[in-house]
Structure 1
Amino acid sequence: MEREAALTRLFESHYTGLLRLAVLLGADDAEDIVAEAFCELHRRWNRLRTADAALPYLRSVVCNLTRMRLRHLQVVRKHAEWSTDLERSAESVALLRDDQKALIDALRQLSVRQREALVLRYWLGLRESDIAAAMSISCGAVKAHTNRGMATLTKIMRERR
């Protein structure tokens, strides 16, 4: 009963933020990814060290699921020999303002790891250690991906002017 109450509170307070995270990481099925992350959390609740570990766990699952789906799409496109634009769900599109569209387009041009590091750092405001845990990489790799991503993003945004 306590688990369900905690999950309900997490869902009510963090669903939209996790949905935005998935969208910013490039997911075309952000709602499915977030729902799957909550299912994973429900399944593994008893394995958490503390209830405070639930939100970082959700972020990590959202990152991993998005990464896996994007890799799958790359393989499908490569073998299908045709490419179409990803259809975005209405909810995903509604979350993005017009002034964010240019930034989202620029983010999509970054490598997956650079995009993840930047979104986790600057959108969610996570510390390097939390980003490293969410991405399953070292803190040094987080710094490298963040620096390279910012340099590339800056270049892209300057060229758009």
Structure 2
Amino acid sequence: MLKPKKPPKVPAIPIEDPAPGLDRLDVRILAALQDDGRLSNVKLADTIGLSPTAVLARVQRLTREGYILGYEARLNPLRLGASMLVFVEVMLDRTTPNVFDQFKAAVQVRPEIMECHMVAGGFDYLLKTRSADMGDYRAFAGSVLWQLPGVRETRTYAVMEEVKNSTHLHLRGG
């Protein structure tokens, strides 16, 4: 007698309408890959409940259409000597022509700056960076941050505790 097949394990996602251009199977594939980007095609197919060929075609389409941007390893900053997480508010000198374009171009080539976001509110940009310690951050601020084009003022916020750190997007439908 054959054992009944277990239903496929599917990551928990709220039941809502899927994002435009996606069906529920696409969303389930994205959720599974978001949980484990190293999932083999066969394991992914088993998880989703489709054939490996069908899943591979969907993954290729999702990649081609820009839903999947790539696959990365998440590194442990504590093990790599970058335990201090810092957010920096940056205000630019708006009297300088093209200051925003110059600042954006300069930030792009600085590997110490992990993220840079133009924001609405009392400052222009929010930066995310990591350092070994306060001395290391101070050296970065003096040699890099305050030398970026158009920087008029900065406010630094050293993180005391990372309460939540995730790269997962909330996916709808699935």
User: Greater Rg, structure 1 or structure 2?
Assistant: 2
Q: Which has the higher contact order (CA 8 A, sep 6+)?
A: 2
- The structure with the greater share of residues assigned to strand is 2
Same fold (TM over 0.5): no
TM-score between both structures, scaled by the size of structure 1: 0.21
Higher helix proportion: 1
TM value normalised by structure 2: 0.20
